[in-house]
Amino acid sequence: MPSKNSGPPSGNEGEPLPPELAELERLLTQRAPAGPPAGLRPRVLAAVRDGLAVQRKAARRRSPWLLAGQLAAALLLCLNFALCLEARGDASPVGVDEKHVAAVAAELSRLEPGMSEGEARRMALLVCAAPPAPAPDGGLPPDAVFDALRGALWGTH
Amino acid sequence: MSDPGGDPLLQGLAEGREEAFAALYDRFAGPLWRGAVALLGSGQDAEDAVQEVFVGLVRARRELSKVENLRAYLFASLRRAAARIAAARKATLPLVAGMDVAEKDAGPRADDADPTGRLERALRSLPTEQREVVALKLDGGLTFAEVASALGVSANTAASRYRYALEKLRAAFGK
């Protein structure tokens, strides 16, 4: 039994083998049988053909169920989407003060009488959802700015 | 070889085309057969092992895109098939077991004078891990890197096992 420390391992890809091992390697290579028997090729290819046929049959059996599953998943998605749209409707977003929205919508309707009730509500929701605009003049409170603007636009002052 | 689209043979195998399997057989059946004979010591078992490799390839054909080295992959499959067949026959080294009985019953073997027969007997007396390396290297024609990949060991370990196997064979053969 050779020692594990008897030098680096080698074969015909590393260091050359010592002559006696190289001769043994040559004998081992020569002793190998020439090739598989002629009957093995048709036997193996027949087994391959059978395996592929089984796979194709299984795929055909599976495909109607796969199609049905995909259709069911698509239907569920559509249904879910439709239900979501219906549920949203004109419902107020969470956290919005409904009284404030109604007041803004009323004010908008008053200022623009041609605006439909639904449109006024949608605009009011947008107004309420938007972050408060920075005051144009830091020295004036927002109400004072609004009064000044109203006076300038409609001459109420 | 990780992209089957780049290798028409791998692409054909992945698509399940019979002519691709035929081409693969023509390219690798010889080394696979010789490796199987060396591993199993029986022509009939070697035929079963080679067939099992190809049937397994049909089952796993869609996974071939992950194969880095087809030759090493085939011999790794062959090794597993050989192990299954040997286990099914309840003997890892059927001919060695047979030889033991023959030696007890008949005294000196008829092939003792034949160097090839002595070499064959010495080869079958090697530990499995060393016999595998010799089978894959010499009979399968694999490089040490491919042997290492097929066996799941490092290339240095594969080369060490090969060297130790040759030294053990020389000792046994020289007796």
DSSP A14: S
Please say whether the beta carbons of B78 and B147 come within 8 A: no
Chain A residues with CB-CB distance to B33 below 8 A? 33, 35-36, 40
Q: How far apart are CA B29 and CA B35, in angstroms?
A: 10
Answer whether A31 sits within 8 Å of B166, measured CB to CB: no
List Cα–Cα distances, A106 to A132, A157, B16, in angstroms. 19, 23, 71
Q: Would you state the structure tokens that stand for residue A34, as one six-digit string?
A: 């020439």
- Identify the pLDDT of residue B166: 92
Predicted pLDDT at B36: 92
Mean pLDDT of A70-75: 88
Pick from B134, B115, B67, B81: nearest CA to A47:
B81
Query: Tens of pLDDT along B3-28?
Result: 445 678 888 899 899 999 999 999 99
Instruction: Given the cut 0.85, state whether the ipTM is greater than it.
Output: no
Which of these ranges, A36-50, A130-144, B39-53, B138-152, has the smallest mean pLDDT?
A130-144
User: How far is B39 from B161, CA to CA, in rounded Å?
Assistant: 15
Query: How far is the C-alpha of A109 from the C-alpha of A131, rounded, in Å?
Result: 22
User: Which residues of chain A have a CB within 8 Å of the CB of B46?
Assistant: 36
Contact across the interface for A40 and B168, Cβ inside 8 Å: no
Distances (CA, A) of A40 to A34, A112, B46: 14, 91, 10
Q: Does A142 score more than 80 pLDDT?
A: no
**Facing residue for A24 by CB, picked from B144, B161, B166:** B166
d(CA B149, CA B77): 11
Cβ <8 Å between A37 and B43: yes
Mutation pick from B48, B162, B164 vs chain A, by most beta carbons of A within 10 Å, is B162
| Tens-digit pLDDT profile for residues A103-124 | 988 988 888 888 888 888 888 8
pLDDT averaged per 10 residues in sequence order, chain B, 175 residues: 63 90 94 90 91 94 85 93 87 43 40 69 86 90 90 91 91 73
Per-residue pLDDT tens for A76-93?
998 888 887 766 655 666
Cα-based distances in Å from A70 to A63, A67, A74, A83: 10, 5, 6, 20
Per the prediction, chain A carries an average pLDDT of 77
Total length of chain B: 175
pLDDT of residue B21: 94
**Do A25 and B166 make contact, defined as CB atoms within 8 angstroms?**
yes
Q: What is the pLDDT of residue B108?
A: 43
**Chain segment A11-28, per-residue pLDDT in tens:** 446 667 888 888 888 888
Angle at alpha carbon of residue A130, lines to A128 and A135, rounded to 5° = 100
The H-or-E segment that residue B149 falls in is: helix B144-151
Length of chain A: 157
Q: The pTM is what?
A: 0.60
Closest residue in B to A53 (Cα–Cα): B16
What is the C-alpha to C-alpha distance for residues B50 and A137, in angstroms, rounded to an integer? 89
The confidence band for A52, taking pLDDT boundaries of 50, 70 and 90, is: very high
How is residue A6 annotated by DSSP? S
Three-state secondary structure string covering A21-86: HHHHHHHHHHHCCCCCCCCHHHHHHHHHHHHHHHHHHHHHHHHHHHHHHHHHHHHHHHHHHHHHHH
Closest residue on chain B to A50 (Cα): B55
For residues B85 and A154, which has the higher predicted lDDT (pLDDT)? B85
Of the pLDDT bands very low, low, confident and very high (cuts 50, 70, 90), residue A137 is low
Do the Cβ atoms of B16 and A20 come within 8 Å? no
Rounded to an integer, what is the distance from CA B19 to the centroid of its chain? 24
What is the per-residue pLDDT for A138? Answer: 59
